[in-house]
Amino acid sequence: MQDDPHLGTGNYDPATYWSARARRDAHGRFESVCVFGASEVENRCADRIQARSLLRAMRRVGIAGSRVLEYGCGIGRWASRVRGLGAEWVGVDLSDEMCERARIENPGCDAQVLQGGTRIPHPDAAFDVVYSVTVLHHNGHEAQEEILTEMLRVLRPGGTLLLMEAVGSAGSFNMFPRSHAGWIAFGRARGLEFVHSEGLHYWVLRGALASLRRPTGRAPSESTSPQSATTAPPPPRRGLVRRMVDHLDSWIDPWIQPLVPERARTGALFTFRKP
Ligand SMILES: C[S@@+](CC[C@H](N)C(=O)[O-])C[C@H]1O[C@@H](n2cnc3c(N)ncnc32)[C@H](O)[C@@H]1O
């Protein structure tokens, strides 16, 4: 990305990169934690799709009265929504700048930086639910294993782990996805019971229109995942039609997710239970 000092250098250091992203809000407040360089409407679309899926899963689990930890909490965009379900929300993040924004945007909330870059500053079995939205896939596979160990340390037996991650095989500059089956195997290898998964796909209408115009070839970069667009070139000036499609996507996508074929989905929310 032209104006992102940490992209394209070949050296992805999560702490440096995400602290720089914490200061980004050129295209609305979600740009720090959703798609770098995307418009506010596009990011709102991603946010609505994720929210519908995550909050539905939390309702299914029943989190009222629970202590809930968000790992990689960013600017705290989920704090008020989790509290709205009657739970206590606690956040941790690698980036102090992200935690600071979370505390500013959610006065009184508990958002703390990881100790030594890896340790969650809470005791063992302190939480009923631990969740993470688009965080693990921004860390290499070895680091993902270490993060999972920490998440499971603070999750009580019988508690729920929710992971919303990119699904696919190809990584990019700061993306390390796994296949759908790979994420399930990732949890099961730690003795977690796999409960449920739900696929996600962003900007459905735009992707469908683009595929009508593109007889063969690759899928458009924006349909791979919101985060993969962090490495895409700056978006061109959007014309009226494109802006109308983006607005439409932002309203209808959360509702038409079930119509997207399974193989086209680029993200998923996984629910696990700790025995
Ligand atoms: C794409 S943002 C998502 C933020 C938040 N989960 C949300 O949905 O709004 C990724 C977040 O994960 C954090 N992060 C990345 N790697 C991390 C790690 N190894 N440990 C803790 N947080 C990490 C970043 O600082 C950033 O806040």
Distance between CA atoms of 200 and 54, rounded to whole angstroms?
11
Ligand 1 proximity of 18 Cβ (cutoff 6 Å) = yes
Ligand 1 proximity of 177 Cβ (cutoff 6 Å) = no
| Of 184 and 236, the one with more pLDDT | 184
- What pLDDT digit, counting tens, does each position of 3-30 carry? 454 454 568 889 888 998 898 776 778 8
- What pLDDT digit, counting tens, does each position of 204-236 carry? 888 888 888 765 443 333 333 334 333 334 555
User: Is 71:48 a contact under the CB 8 Å cutoff?
Assistant: no
- What pLDDT digit, counting tens, does each position of 126-166 carry? 999 999 999 999 999 999 999 999 999 999 999 999 999 99
> 132 CA distance to ligand 1 centroid (A)?
8
In this prediction, residue 4 carries a pLDDT of 53
In this prediction, residue 10 carries a pLDDT of 63
In this prediction, residue 2 carries a pLDDT of 39
Reference 197, options 254, 275, 271, 274; nearest CA is 271
Q: What are the structural domains, with CATH classification, of the chain?
A: 14-36+53-201+267-273 (3.40.50.150)
> 239 CA distance to ligand 1 centroid (A)?
32
In this prediction, residue 262 carries a pLDDT of 81
Ligand 1 proximity of 28 Cβ (cutoff 6 Å) = no
pLDDT class for 252, splitting at 50, 70, 90?
Answer: confident
Mean pLDDT to the nearest integer, 171-184 = 89
- Say which range, 136-140, 184-188, 248-252, has the weakest mean pLDDT: 248-252
Mean pLDDT, all residues of the chain = 86
Cβ burial of 153 (10 Å; 0-12, 13-18, 19+) is middle
Reference 49, options 244, 173, 189, 226; nearest CA is 226
Ligand 1 proximity of 271 Cβ (cutoff 6 Å) = no
pTM: 0.88
